[in-house]
């Protein structure tokens, strides 16, 4: 009668009905047996209680259908009001409305069911207590009621059994169950809050994925931590008794998890300072270069240009030299090509050829304009520098294409690209043979025209 049978609560109710159905048949047979034994008043009392239970169930069903219809109308009205938004915003708003509807419907399902069961159980308990207190009640009936009552009393005593703790405090299984229930409610609230943040805050604030994950994780840990403290307090467990354990655990945690804590703190610093964000192209110490795919609280995932996924600890971004090629949000980078020409070349022609090549390339941006700079008189060449702007993912091949084109246009215009060379000049005051003559005239009497050498 209550929830939709394919839902979780509906399946639960269906199982309960399947269990109660034979009990209902047994109860009807029992009524005939009680009536046949002459207990007319008892039969009348049980039938009246059964009719009251059916009336309560029907009233609960009517109230449930009425509230569910109002909830459906409210959902439809809110969705119609948001149809004027953009398609993307409408999908997020529709998802948010549906999430709220499912939560309200679940509360309605469980609330109506629990209230109805409590009311019906209270009526039957009052009936059985009144019947058993009557001297004319059957002995078997009294014994069964006392056994059932004993079971419920035993359950109650078990749930309320006191476990004495330090500082004169105590806890019970019932308090522990309430503490666990608080944690369960906290988990449900964090899930709903994440959906609200995703649909209401993140999209409007246009936060990147790393910031969204960091905020969601921080809020989740905060709520769960507060719920754990509240749950322990409700359960009656003194938090002071955990101080020694927490201190010892903290010391061990500090020594054993230095790197993890360092990475966690680095992740928080990255979140607030934002030196990198998802989608940035970075280089770390010239050995890792790629695109940032994900920033978590402990590590960052970088997808390199050769499609390797590298998980980098967050502390490395604070300890190493990191080059962020698109930190300002601009994907354009300036590139430089150096080229040398031989001495005696027409420098204006060289300049015109370089401009012709760079302006004809489709991947070179026209704004800012390319620049040709005569940098210096080199040892073997006149050195020129060509500066141009290109997209970060296209500049690599653009440099190669421009090098091919520069070589071709220089050959067409007979502009020589020299290789390093040196000219060696030997200086002497007199010729070598003159020096040799002088040396012989001074040291010996050798005839230079007919030299003879004695042994």
Tens of pLDDT, residue by residue over 235-253, are: 777 666 566 666 666 666 5
Tokens, residue 375: 């940098």
Verify that 64 and 141 share a domain, yes or no. yes
**How much of the chain is in helix, strand and coil states, percent to nearest 5?**
65, 15, 25
Token pair in block for residue 285: 């110490």
- Alpha carbon distance 89, 83 (integer Å): 9
Question: The domain containing residue 195 runs over which residues?
Answer: 165-256
| Residue 445, domain member (yes or no) | no
Please enumerate in sequence order all residues whose Cβ is within 8 A of that of 444, keeping only pairs 6 or more positions apart, or say none.
none
Nearest to 74 by CA among 100, 93, 52: 100
Higher pLDDT, 167 or 17: 17
pLDDT at 117 over 80: yes
Is residue 86 in some structural domain?
yes
Pick the last residue of a domain from 206, 221, 256. 256
139 found inside a domain: yes
Where does the pLDDT of residue 393 fall: very low under 50, low under 70, confident under 90, or very high at 90 and above? Answer: confident
In a domain, residue 424? The reply is: no
Say whether pLDDT at 210 is over 50: yes
Mean pLDDT of the region 103-114: 83
E strand or H helix at 410, and its extent? helix 395-412
State the pLDDT confidence band at 84, using cuts at 50, 70 and 90.
Answer: low
Q: Which residues pair with 322 in a beta bridge?
A: 284
251 & 149 share domain:
no
The CATH number given to whatever domain includes residue 301 is 2.30.30.60
The token pair at 442 is 């001074």
Whether residue 450 is contained in a domain is answered as no
Looking at residue 453, what is its pLDDT? 47
Report how far apart, in Å, the C-alpha atoms of 416 and of each of 338, 393, 422 are. Answer: 15, 32, 17
Q: Which two tokens stand for residue 404?
A: 């091919």
Rg (C-alpha) for the chain, rounded Å, is: 45
Per-residue burial over 295-331, b if 16 or more Cβ lie within 10 Å, else e, is bbbbbbbbeeeeeeebebbbbbbbeeebeebbeeeee
Q: What per-residue confidence (pLDDT) applies to 402?
A: 92
Q: Based on the domain organization, do 76 and 197 belong to the same domain? A: no
What is the mean predicted confidence (pLDDT) over 263-270? Answer: 76
The CA-to-CA distance between both ends of the chain, in Å, stands at 140
Range of lowest pLDDT (200-204, 263-267, 344-348): 200-204
The alpha-helical segments, DSSP class H, found in 134-172 are 139-159
If asked whether residues 361 and 230 sit together in one domain, one would say: no
- Which of 45-59, 208-222, 287-301, 324-338 shows the lowest mean pLDDT across its residues? 208-222
Q: Is the dihedral of CA 242, 222, 170, 180 positive or negative?
A: negative
pLDDT at site 173: 82
CATH number at residue 405: 3.30.70.100
Is there a single domain that holds both residue 39 and residue 175? no
From 324, 356, 382, the end of a domain falls on: 324
Q: Residue 60 domain-assigned?
A: yes
Specify the range with the lowest mean pLDDT, choosing from 4-8, 290-294, 321-325, 334-338.
4-8
Across the chain, mean pLDDT equals 77
- Shared-domain flag, residues 339 and 399: yes
The mean per-residue pLDDT over the stretch 81-99 comes to 68
Domain count, the chain: 4
- β-strand pairing of 281-284 with 322-324: antiparallel
Whether residues 237 and 378 share a domain: the answer is: no
358 and 344 inside one domain: yes
**447 or 211, greater pLDDT:** 211
Coil, strand or helix: which one is 327?
coil
Average pLDDT on 30-35 reads: 76
| Residue 269 forms part of a structural domain | no
- In the predicted structure, residue 275 carries a pLDDT above the cut 60: yes
Residues 319 and 337 reside in one and the same domain: no
Are residues 392 and 375 part of one domain?
A: yes
Which of the four pLDDT bands, split at 50, 70 and 90, describes residue 386? Answer: very high
Please name the residue that has the structure tokens 């009719």: 51
Looking at per-residue pLDDT, the higher value among 364 and 161 belongs to 364
Tell me what pLDDT residue 455 has.
44
Q: Are residues 367 and 382 in the same domain?
A: yes
Would you give the DSSP letter of residue 364?
A: B
Residue 370 belongs to a domain: yes
Of 223-237, 273-287, 388-402, give the range with the top mean pLDDT: 388-402
Let me know whether 188 and 205 are in one domain: yes
């Amino acid at each position: 009668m209550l929830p939709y049978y394919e839902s979780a609560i509906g399946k639960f109710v269906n199982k309960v009905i399947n269990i109660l159905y034979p009990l209902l048949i047994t109860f009807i047979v029992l009524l005939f047996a009680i009536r046949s034994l002459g207990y007319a008043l008892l039969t009348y009392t049980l039938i009246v209680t059964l009719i009251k239970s059916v009336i309560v169930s029907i009233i609960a069903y009517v109230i449930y259908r009425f509230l569910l219809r109002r909830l459906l109308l409210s959902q439809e009205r809110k969705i119609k009001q948001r149809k004027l938004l953009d398609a993307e915003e409408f999908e997020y708003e529709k998802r948010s409305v549906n999430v709220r509807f499912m939560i309200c419907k679940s509360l309605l399902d469980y609330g109506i069911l629990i209230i109805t069961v409590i009311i019906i159980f209270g009526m039957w308990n009052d009936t059985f207590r009144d019947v058993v207190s009557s001297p004319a009640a059957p002995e078997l009936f009294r014994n069964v009621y006392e056994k059932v009552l004993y079971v419920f009393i035993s359950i109650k005593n078990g749930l309320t059994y006191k476990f004495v703790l330090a500082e004169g405090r105590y806890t019970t299984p019932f308090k522990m169950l309430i503490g666990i229930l608080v944690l369960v409610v906290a988990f449900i609230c964090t899930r709903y809050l994440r959906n609200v943040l995703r649909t209401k805050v993140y999209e409007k604030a246009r936060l990147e994925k790393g910031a969204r994950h960091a905020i969601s994780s921080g809020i989740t840990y905060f709520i769960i931590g507060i719920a754990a403290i509240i749950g322990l307090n409700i359960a009656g467990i003194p938090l002071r008794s955990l101080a020694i354990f927490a201190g010892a655990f903290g010391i061990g945690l500090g020594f054993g998890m230095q790197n993890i804590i360092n990475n966690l703190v680095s992740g928080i610093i990255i979140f607030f300072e934002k030196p990198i964000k998802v989608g940035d192209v970075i280089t770390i110490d010239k050995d890792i270069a790629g695109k940032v795919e994900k920033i978590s609280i402990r590590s960052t995932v970088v997808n390199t240009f050769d499609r390797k996924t590298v998980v980098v600890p967050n502390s490395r971004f604070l300890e190493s030299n990191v080059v962020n090629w698109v930190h300002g949000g601009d994907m354009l980078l300036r590139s430089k090509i150096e080229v040398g020409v031989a001495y005696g070349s027409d420098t204006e022609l060289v300049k015109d050829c370089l401009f012709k090549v760079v302006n004809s390339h489709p991947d070179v941006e026209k704004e800012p304009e390319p620049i040709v700079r005569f940098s210096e008189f080199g040892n073997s060449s006149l050195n020129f520098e060509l500066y141009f702007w290109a997209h970060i993912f296209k500049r690599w091949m653009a440099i190669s294409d421009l090098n091919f084109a520069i070589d071709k246009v220089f050959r067409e215009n007979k502009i020589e690209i020299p290789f390093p060379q040196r000219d060696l000049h030997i200086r002497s005051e007199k010729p070598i043979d003159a020096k040799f003559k002088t040396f012989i005239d001074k040291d010996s009497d050798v005839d230079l025209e007919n030299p003879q050498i004695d042994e």
